[in-house]
Amino acid sequence: GQKNRPMLYDLHTLQNRFFFDLNTIATLHSAFPLIINKVRDMQRRAGTNEVAICFPDAGAEKRFAHYFHEAFPEIHTVVCGKKRDPDRP
């Protein structure tokens, strides 16, 4: 039969692309161009370039911060994190 062609956006891990069987060809896409345009629009409406981008963890910042730094060299970034309490797992 014909191959399935799902379109995947901004996967958390690229290994997920290979989850599908041999009858499926997944194509990877990104919503970052839309996000960049939205941030530019927010800056224009607010009349300021003071914007911060927040990441849920260091891994997300490592994977995605370059998109924002290329578009907005002066952008501030916030990286959230969590610490586990060994006494309360």
Supply the pLDDT for residue 13. 63
Does 7 have pLDDT greater than 80?
no
Q: What angle do CA 8, 39, 45 make, to 5 degrees?
A: 145
pLDDT-derived band at 15 (thresholds 50, 70, 90) equals low
Does 11 have pLDDT greater than 70?
no
Supply the pLDDT for residue 16. 66
pLDDT-derived band at 19 (thresholds 50, 70, 90) equals confident
- In whole numbers, what is the pLDDT of the chain averaged over residues? 83
Give dist(CA 31, CA 29) in Å, integer: 7
Give dist(CA 9, CA 30) in Å, integer: 5
State pLDDT tens for residues 42-71.
889 988 888 889 998 898 899 889 999 999
